[in-house]
């Protein structure tokens, strides 16, 4: 103890320091409550709803606790040191100058070794978790291909395992609940990152590579996601969802997807819409049964991986719309397809039904780049096709039939 | 990086310019900013700076060599011989099949020999033997130029055989790595010629500067041995 | 170059008039006025130039931050378009990293390193000036992209292939690559210069274990620069070749690998993190002992932990890539190595607290910032440990949690350190103190502002808000904390205005009523306080002989039997007077600024029209030629003080502190 004048005036400092430290602790705890508050935070990373996210959560929460203790000790320490050792205005110069301590090696070795030991323990759990999660991905019960592109996600299912996708959807990945699903993540242009925080951590979609992670949703439900590697202009509006269904519902969903598209009745606006679709939309968007082989890539060359006569189901540069209305959102998970859902056919059922959101689709067709930033001049995203209001109405009529 | 080389070179030669300085060492020298040439390490600032710079250069070439190693066996590392005569004419070959190892070995030997002549030049400078110094400096620069000539010949041959800079990633990596080295040798030749010119300006050779240029020259040679091994000798 | 005068034996010197053949220009001789700044080679002026330029870019980058925060204040912000937002956050990152924090450190390093080791200048004064101009012109070049088609839009990390011509067809990325190459030249040259200065130009007796901690940390930083910059140089060249010549280094469809860019970038990028924080650790290690009136606790541990951080900094780069898909083996290795880099950092925190313990704290503005750094950096360090865990990092990376983490490190660490340093060394720079009362306002506003801004980002990140998104929606639950963060950002802006106001008011007050702060206004410990404020152009009248660590302190204080300090001399008595004359100093030169000016021309030429490159090349060649034939010190240029003095070789020689022989004896290595 250096000061030679331990006197009354420390008391005030101590009180202030104690109050400050207590405020800090209380504040931190309140904030923690706010963090883990689940309602209204669909992307919350601290609300695991699947096995993998739970493993991560179990690893990190104790580390947060250790970090919290260190935080309070250091910050409280700083405040107390200031309260205890500050020079007050009535102190004379040179009075009570401290003993000149140059160090204490055993103490310093101790505070080198103790954190190192704590970290070594954490590291052991860390390494175990890394390999555990890796094992989950390798032992998946079924697999889905996930392909990122500017600025939406495509999902390909190969149900008969012939190496060619049989079902192609976009923006909403449908999986059976309580099943470990392996997700093979690929990219068609730049790097994206596939991230459903409530189910698992993120993994980048890197062109030329396939990365695999596991998803295992505890219960049926909708789990929100966001592309989380910066991927250019509309990165902020590149979202996706996972919809987990009961196994029975999943089979129902799959059967519907394997069916061909709904054919509109003749002489309805929808039938006229289909004709407009064939002339104006089908060069990029696919509805099963139309072959637009060799759809161009950004470089103008046909992409052998993507589209082409061998893969009649694979979309071109834009989402496959065969069963558009079986999804929840469109345009990179941004805009709702339904204004409201029918009773009993909620969002999490195999086939949502309800009041289609005509306005959103119509707005979109009127000026896509105005609704979501896109670089359509470089074949990245949908251009404004300058459709007439009549065409828009008929197209919407057609599209909303595509259950 | 090449610009850095230029700056360094300027610095090296800057002190050559100092040869022309009429300053007489006197008591006030220890009063000057550098307190004489006695540095803490006993090694001059310039020489130490060159060592440090060469350390930095190691990382530069390390990055380029890693890039080459990563890309040399990439799928698509095939080229079509004589592509200039019609699209994708000829049969596909690996880049390594284009290498003329005897030719490159000879030019590598030439570059190695220039290290020897550089040693002679440094010795001559230390012994204040002006005419020998000029001979060896000239010889070193000449051998370096022969090496560069060989590299130019090699590049043009490859291009004629269809291996352009953008043919595939391994050709890009190959040209980038050897090209960076070639630029380094060329800058070295310029430094050597500057030293040669300076021997005509002062009565005594700029021994320190020549030693520093020598360091750089030996480094460029050693790097070439690594590059030669990595590119031509390891299959 | 600076050694010329001594190295050249007399008998070899050509006739004196030869040095006058310097070409058509007479050498600049100004010691005051704007020309003295443009052509200066004085490390102190160069340091101040760095400080002013970095403050300018701080305002630029800070304004970009305000744009970002305004856009994100509410969901669906419409202030910036997505395209503009992407440019703004990219340029904010590049500006703050390369044009603000690094040069702020360079400002202090340039100004202080020679003073702290007892030297009269850096090893290569002209190269030093060149480094500064190179940095300034590189920075202006980078920002000129705003007026020439838009800034870079790939993020500061600029991941391939989003940086290719296909996906970013404008010139922004070209400006990025070339601008960073120019800035890289500046940093490399400066780093070599400072390393040689510390290795070779320490005063007699200034052994390695007597170097101030700031000097040590800056030295480690310069080594990191020398060995990490060439790696990003390679990456930037490959990027340029992809964009200019059509190679496919990062194009996966033609055999390239986008992850190569990531590895090369982060092999540079992670040491870069320590490049930005280690000097701030050094500053804090100067401030805390001074204002606690105790020596730094565990000097050897402080030095060793700094060196350990430097070494380990090269072995953890891939922790930026845990989500990139490197495979579990690499993830395991880098995850574990990253966790242990927390150990030396923790040692530093605890040693600072141990220094404070038992001290007699003077809570000046500098000390507030220093203890602020300890508190804020601790938060950044702890959040860092949570994402050293690779699985946790896959939830946290690329979210605002990471943004919070590195702003606590960079703002709460680097910027706090520099601001504390400015308040501390201001009298050394300008000969007057900054106002302490306004300083306290500045500190509290900065502290509150930064916690309001970056604290909520922890919450946002953990609640799932991604980085680099130009907008978010209602219902994602990000509204409240974004609003708080925006309020915080404007608080920081106000705090910066308060700082500028303080600079201005203090200057005016000093002008109206000059008060000499004396050589040692803080009762400090290291060598720079043994010379007058502001520091005279020649630094030291005589090069001091160093006897121990904190030599200057020990000239002022002995200690009693209990180990408490006892004053034995007044600072004014042991400090130097700064009135020496006839000191040989390197002379100003045109060539550093001209040579540096050539580089942006070459860069513009590569982007727009090769004619510009030809002009730039001409400038470079002419200035190298001029540089080469110009001796570093003009003949008989004496100490350019207020008065012209005739050199008095005999008389001056007698006063000098050291002969070469003494110097050799005194050095340990």
Angle between helices C365-388 and C342-356 (to 10 degrees): 150
CA C572 from centroid of its chain's CA atoms: 31
Q: Nearest CA to CA, how far is C557 from chain A (Å)?
A: 11
Find, in chain B, the residue whose alpha carbon is nearest to that of C639.
Answer: B32
Residue C24 is encoded by which pair of tokens? 């058509």
- So what's the ipTM on this one? 0.90
Name the residue among B24, B45, B75 with its Cβ closest to that of C255: B75
B160 confidence band (pLDDT: 50, 70, 90): confident
Nearest-angstrom CA–CA distance, C291 and C523: 9
Instruction: Convert the pLDDT of each residue in A240-277 to its tens digit.
Output: 999 999 999 999 999 999 888 888 888 899 999 988 88
Q: Nearest CA to CA, how far is A98 from chain C (Å)?
A: 5
Name the residue among A1, A115, A126 with its Cβ closest to that of C342: A115
Residue B87 clears pLDDT 70, i.e. is over it: no
Number of neighbouring beta carbons within 10 Å of residue C577: 11
pLDDT for residue C582: 78
Cis peptide before C161 (omega within 30 of 0): yes
Name the β-bridge partners of A375.
A380
* Contact criterion met (CB < 8 Å) for A74 and C353: yes
Higher pLDDT, A246 or C657: A246
Query: Which CATH number is associated with domain C42-532?
Result: 1.20.210.10
CA angle B105, B110, B113 (to 5 degrees): 125
Find, in chain A, the residue whose alpha carbon is nearest to that of C72.
Answer: A236
**A245 in helix, strand or coil?**
strand
Beta strand pairing call for A181-187 and A211-215: antiparallel
Beta strand pairing call for A192-194 and A203-205: antiparallel
Position B17 in a domain: no
Instruction: Convert the pLDDT of each residue in C114-129 to its tens digit.
Output: 999 999 999 999 999 9
* Contact criterion met (CB < 8 Å) for C246 and B166: yes
Residue B82 clears pLDDT 70, i.e. is over it: no
CA distances from A209 to A206, A232, C253, C259 (A): 6, 19, 11, 10
Mapping DSSP onto H, E and C, the string for C553-609 reads HHHHEEECCCCCEEECCCHHHHCCCCCCCCCCCCCCCCHHHHHHHHHHHHHHHHHCC
Mean pLDDT of all residues in C397-419: 95
Instruction: Convert the pLDDT of each residue in C517-552 to its tens digit.
Output: 989 999 999 999 999 989 998 899 989 999 999 999
Buried b (16+ CB within 10 A) or exposed e, C119-154: bbbbbbbbbbbbbbbbbbbbbbbbbbbeebebbbbb
B55 contact residues in C (CB cutoff 8 A): 226-227
To the nearest whole percent, how much of chain C has pLDDT over 90? 74
* DSSP, residue by residue, B76-131: T-EEETTTTSSTT-S-EEEGGGG--HHHHHHHHHHHHHHHHHHHHHHHHHHTT-HH
Residue A340 is encoded by which pair of tokens? 């409201």
Nearest-angstrom CA–CA distance, A76 and B65: 51
Residue C379 is encoded by which pair of tokens? 């938060």
Burial class of residue A105, CB neighbours in 10 A (0-12, 13-18, 19+)? exposed
Q: Which CATH architecture has domain A9-87+103-137?
A: Orthogonal Bundle (1.10)
> Are residues B24 and B205 in contact, defined by beta-carbon separation less than 8 angstroms?
no
Question: Mean pLDDT of all residues in chain C?
Answer: 88
Predicted structure pTM score: 0.89
Least confident of A61-75, A297-311, C140-154, C610-624: A297-311
* Contact criterion met (CB < 8 Å) for C255 and B71: yes
Mean pLDDT of all residues in C566-593: 86
Q: Nearest CA to CA, how far is B184 from chain C (Å)?
A: 14
Taking alpha carbons only, the member of C144, C124, C193 closest to residue C591 is C124
Name the residue among C6, C121, C181 with its Cβ closest to that of B36: C6
B165 contact residues in C (CB cutoff 8 A): 245, 247
**How many residues comprise chain A?**
403
Nearest-angstrom CA–CA distance, C343 and C338: 10
Residue C510 is encoded by which pair of tokens? 């000093």
Residue A359 clears pLDDT 80, i.e. is over it: yes
Radius of gyration of chain B (CA): 21
Q: Which chains touch C (3 or more CB pairs under 8 A)?
A: A, B
Q: Nearest CA to CA, how far is C645 from chain A (Å)?
A: 42
CB of C144 within 8 Å of a chain B CB? The answer is no
Cis peptide before A151 (omega within 30 of 0): yes
Instruction: Convert the pLDDT of each residue in B88-118 to its tens digit.
Output: 555 666 777 778 889 999 999 999 999 999 9
Radius of gyration of chain A (CA): 29
When the candidates are 3.40.640.10, 2.60.40.420, 1.10.10.60, 3.30.450.90, the CATH number that belongs to A142-403 is 2.60.40.420
Q: Nearest CA to CA, how far is C481 from chain A (Å)?
A: 11
Residue A62 is encoded by which pair of tokens? 């104790």
pLDDT for residue B68: 93
CA distances from C586 to C6, C47, C96, C445, C636 (A): 13, 16, 32, 42, 11
Residue C248 clears pLDDT 50, i.e. is over it: yes
Nearest-angstrom CA–CA distance, B159 and A6: 85
CA distances from A167 to A164, B120, C435 (A): 9, 75, 71
* Contact criterion met (CB < 8 Å) for B176 and C247: yes
Please name the helix (run of DSSP H) or strand (run of DSSP E) that holds residue C373, with its range, or none. Answer: helix C365-388
pLDDT for residue B1: 36
pLDDT for residue A163: 79
Residue A255 is encoded by which pair of tokens? 């059967």
Domain boundaries, chain A: 9-87+103-137, 142-403
Nearest-angstrom CA–CA distance, B200 and B142: 18
Domains identified in chain B, total number: 1
Domain with B183 in it: 2-10+39-233
pLDDT for residue C561: 86
SS3 content of chain A, % helix, strand, coil (to 5): 40, 20, 45
> Which distant-in-sequence residues (6+ apart) come within 8 Å of A240 by Cβ?
A152, A153, A171, A172, A173, A194, A196, A225, A226, A227, A332, A333
pLDDT for residue C89: 96
Position B212 in a domain: yes
* DSSP, residue by residue, C124-174: -HHHHHHHHHHHHHHHHHHHHGGGTT----STTTT-TTTTSTTT--SSHHH
Nearest-angstrom CA–CA distance, C10 and B154: 49
pLDDT for residue C20: 43
> Are residues C343 and C316 in contact, defined by beta-carbon separation less than 8 angstroms?
no
Find, in chain C, the residue whose alpha carbon is nearest to that of A334.
Answer: C473
Instruction: Convert the pLDDT of each residue in C414-446 to its tens digit.
Output: 999 999 999 999 999 999 999 999 999 999 999
SS3 content of chain B, % helix, strand, coil (to 5): 70, 5, 25
Nearest-angstrom CA–CA distance, C197 and A185: 52
CB of C193 within 8 Å of a chain B CB? The answer is yes
Residue B6 clears pLDDT 60, i.e. is over it: no
CATH of residue B147's domain is: 1.20.120.80
Nearest-angstrom CA–CA distance, A187 and C631: 58
Q: How far is the first Cα of chain B from the last one, in angstroms, to the nearest whole number?
A: 30
B81 confidence band (pLDDT: 50, 70, 90): low
Nearest-angstrom CA–CA distance, A36 and A30: 10
* DSSP, residue by residue, C49-74: HHHHHHHHHHHHHHHHHHHHHHHHSS
Instruction: Convert the pLDDT of each residue in A40-59 to its tens digit.
Output: 888 999 889 999 999 999 99
> Are residues C248 and C295 in contact, defined by beta-carbon separation less than 8 angstroms?
no
pLDDT for residue B20: 34
Nearest-angstrom CA–CA distance, B153 and A1: 78
C336 confidence band (pLDDT: 50, 70, 90): very high
> Are residues C588 and C248 in contact, defined by beta-carbon separation less than 8 angstroms?
no
- In the block, tokens 């009535």 appear at A90
Name the residue among A189, A203, A208 with its Cβ closest to that of C323: A203
CA B89 from centroid of its chain's CA atoms: 37
**How many residues comprise chain B?**
235
Instruction: Convert the pLDDT of each residue in A183-228 to its tens digit.
Output: 999 998 899 999 999 999 999 999 989 999 999 999 999 999 999 9
> Which distant-in-sequence residues (6+ apart) come within 8 Å of C102 by Cβ?
C187, C275, C276
Q: Nearest CA to CA, how far is A127 from chain C (Å)?
A: 6
């Amino acid at each position: 103890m250096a000061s030679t004048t331990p006197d009354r005036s420390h008391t005030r400092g101590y009180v202030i320091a104690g109050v400050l430290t207590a405020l800090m602790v209380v504040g931190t705890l309140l904030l923690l409550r706010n963090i883990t508050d689940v309602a209204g935070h669909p992307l919350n990373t601290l609300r695991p709803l699947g096995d993998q996210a739970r493993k991560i959560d179990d690893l990190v929460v104790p580390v947060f606790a250790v970090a919290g203790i260190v935080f309070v000790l250091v910050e409280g320490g700083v405040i107390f040191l200031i309260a205890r050792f500050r020079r007050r205005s009535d102190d004379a110069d040179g009075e009570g100058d401290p003993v000149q301590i140059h160090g204490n090696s055993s103490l310093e070795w101790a505070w080198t070794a103790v954190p190192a030991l704590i970290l070594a323990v954490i590291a052991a759990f860390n390494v175990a978790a890394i390999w555990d999660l890796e094992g989950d991905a390798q032992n998946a019960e079924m697999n889905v291909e996930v392909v990122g592109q500017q600025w939406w996600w495509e999902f390909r299912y190969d149900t008969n395992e012939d190496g060619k996708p049989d079902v192609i959807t976009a923006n909403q990945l449908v999986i059976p609940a309580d099943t470990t699903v392996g997700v093979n993540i690929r990219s068609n242009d730049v790097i994206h990152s596939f991230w459903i925080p409530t189910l698992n951590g993120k993994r980048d979609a890197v062109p030329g590579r396939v990365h695999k992670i596991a998803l295992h949703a505890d219960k049926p439900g909708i789990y929100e996601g966001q592309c989380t590697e910066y991927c250019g202009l509309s990165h902020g509006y590149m979202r996706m969802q996972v919809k987990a269904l009961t196994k029975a519902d999943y089979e129902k969903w799959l059967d519907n997807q394997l069916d061909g598209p709904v054919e509109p009745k003749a002489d309805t606006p929808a039938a006229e819409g289909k004709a407009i679709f064939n002339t104006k939309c089908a060069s990029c968007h696919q509805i099963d049964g139309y072959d637009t082989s060799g759809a161009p890539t950004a470089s103008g060359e046909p992409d052998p991986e993507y589209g082409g006569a061998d893969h009649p189901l694979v979309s071109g540069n834009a989402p496959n719309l065969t069963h558009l209305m079986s999804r929840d959102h469109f345009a990179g998970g941004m805009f709702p397809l339904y204004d409201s859902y029918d009773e009993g056919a909620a969002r999490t059922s195999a086939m949502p039904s309800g009041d289609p959101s005509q306005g959103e689709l119509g707005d979109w067709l009127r000026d896509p780049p105005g609704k979501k930033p896109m670089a359509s001049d470089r074949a990245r995203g949908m251009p404004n096709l300058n459709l007439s209001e009549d065409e828009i109405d008929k197209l919407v009529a057609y599209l909303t039939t595509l259950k | 990086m090449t610009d850095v080389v230029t700056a360094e070179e300027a610095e090296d030669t800057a002190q050559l310019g100092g040869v022309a300085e009429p300053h007489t060492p006197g008591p006030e020298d220890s009063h000057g900013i550098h307190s004489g040439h006695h540095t803490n390490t006993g090694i001059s600032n310039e020489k130490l700076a060159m060592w440090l710079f060469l350390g930095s250069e190691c990382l530069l070439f390390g990055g380029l060599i890693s890039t080459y190693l990563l890309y040399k066996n990439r799928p698509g590392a095939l080229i079509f011989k004589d592509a200039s005569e019609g699209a994708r004419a000829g049969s596909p070959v690996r880049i390594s099949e284009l290498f003329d190892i005897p030719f490159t070995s000879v030019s590598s030997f030439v570059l190695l020999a220039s290290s020897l002549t550089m040693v002679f030049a440094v010795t001559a400078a230390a012994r204040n033997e002006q005419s020998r110094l000029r001979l060896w400096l000239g010889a070193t620069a000449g051998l370096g130029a022969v090496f560069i000539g060989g590299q130019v010949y090699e590049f043009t041959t490859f291009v004629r055989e269809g291996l352009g800079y953008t043919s595939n990633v391994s050709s890009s990596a190959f040209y980038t790595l050897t090209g960076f080295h070639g630029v380094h040798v060329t800058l070295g030749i310029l430094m050597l010629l500057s030293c040669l010119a300076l021997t005509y300006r002062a009565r005594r050779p700029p021994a320190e500067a020549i030693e520093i240029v020598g360091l750089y020259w030996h480094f460029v040679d050693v790097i070439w041995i690594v590059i030669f091994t990595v590119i031509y000798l390891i299959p | 170059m600076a050694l010329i005068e001594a190295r050249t034996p007399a008998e070899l010197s050509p006739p004196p008039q030869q040095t006058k053949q310097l070409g058509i220009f007479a050498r600049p001789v100004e010691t005051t006025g704007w020309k003295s700044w443009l052509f200066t080679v004085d490390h102190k002026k160069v340091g101040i130039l760095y400080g002013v330029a970095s403050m300018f870019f701080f305002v630029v980058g800070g304004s970009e931050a305000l744009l970002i925060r305004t856009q994100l204040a509410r969901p669906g912000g419409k202030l910036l378009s997505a395209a503009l937002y992407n440019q703004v956050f990219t340029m904010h990152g590049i500006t703050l990293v390369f044009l603000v924090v690094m040069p702020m450190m360079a400002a202090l390093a340039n100004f202080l390193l020679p003073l702290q080791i007892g030297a009269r200048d850096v090893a290569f004064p002209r190269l030093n000036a060149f480094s500064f101009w190179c940095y300034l012109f590189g920075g202006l070049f980078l920002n000129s992209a705003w007026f020439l088609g838009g800034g870079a839009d790939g993020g500061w990390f600029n991941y391939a292939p989003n940086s290719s011509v296909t996906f970013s067809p404008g010139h922004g990325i070209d400006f990025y690559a070339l601008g960073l190459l120019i800035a890289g030249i500046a940093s490399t040259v400066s780093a070599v210069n400072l390393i040689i200065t510390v290795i070779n130009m320490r005063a007699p007796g200034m052994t390695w274990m007597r170097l101030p901690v700031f000097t040590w940390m800056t030295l480690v930083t310069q080594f990191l620069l020398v060995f990490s910059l060439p790696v990003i140089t390679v990456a930037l060249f490959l990027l340029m070749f992809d964009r200019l010549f059509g190679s496919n280094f990062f194009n996966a469809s033609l055999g390239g690998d986008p992850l190569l860019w990531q590895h090369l970038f982060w092999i540079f990028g992670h040491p870069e993190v320590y490049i930005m924080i280690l000097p701030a650790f050094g500053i804090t290690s100067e401030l805390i002992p001074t204002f606690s009136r105790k020596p730094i606790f565990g000097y050897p541990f402080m030095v060793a932990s700094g060196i350990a951080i430097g070494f380990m900094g090269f072995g953890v780069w891939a922790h930026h890539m845990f989500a990139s898909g490197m495979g579990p083996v690499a993830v395991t290795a880098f995850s574990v190595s990253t966790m242990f880099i927390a150990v030396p950092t923790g040692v530093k925190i605890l040693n600072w607290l141990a220094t404070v313990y038992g001290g007699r704290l003077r809570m000046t503005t500098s000390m507030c910032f220093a203890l602020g750094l300890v508190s804020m950096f601790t938060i950044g360090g702890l959040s860092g440990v949570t994402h050293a865990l690779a699985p946790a990092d896959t939830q946290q990376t690329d979210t605002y949690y990471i943004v919070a983490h590195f702003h606590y490190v960079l703002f709460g660490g680097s910027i706090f350190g520099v601001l504390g340093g400015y308040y501390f060394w201001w009298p050394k720079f300008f000969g007057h103190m900054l106002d302490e009362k306004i300083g306290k306002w500045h500190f509290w506003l900065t502290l509150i502002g930064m916690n309001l801004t970056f604290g909520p980002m922890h919450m946002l990140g953990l609640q799932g808000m991604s980085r680099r998104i130009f907008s978010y929606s209602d219902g994602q639950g990000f509204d409240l904390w974004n609003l708080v963060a925006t309020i915080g950002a404007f608080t920081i802006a106000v705090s910066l205005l308060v700082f500028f106001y303080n600079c201005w008011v203090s200057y005016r007050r000093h002008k109206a009523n000059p008060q000499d702060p004396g050589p040692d206004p803080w009762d400090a410990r290291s060598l720079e306080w043994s010379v007058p404020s502001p520091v005279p152009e020649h630094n030291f009248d005589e090069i001091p002989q160093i006897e121990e660590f904190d030599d200057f302190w020990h000239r002022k204080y002995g200690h009693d039997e209990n180990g408490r300090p006892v004053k034995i001399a007044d600072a004014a008595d042991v400090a130097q007077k700064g009135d020496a004359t006839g000191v040989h100093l390197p002379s100003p030169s045109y060539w550093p600024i001209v040579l540096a000016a050539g580089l942006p021309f070459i860069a513009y030429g590569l982007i727009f029209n090769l004619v510009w490159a030809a002009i730039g090349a001409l400038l470079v060649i002419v200035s190298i030629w001029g540089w080469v034939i110009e001796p570093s010190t003009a003949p008989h240029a004496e100490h350019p003080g207020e008065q012209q003095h005739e050199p008095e070789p005999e008389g001056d020689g007698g006063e000098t502190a050291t002969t070469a022989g003494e110097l050799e004896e005194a050095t340990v290595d």
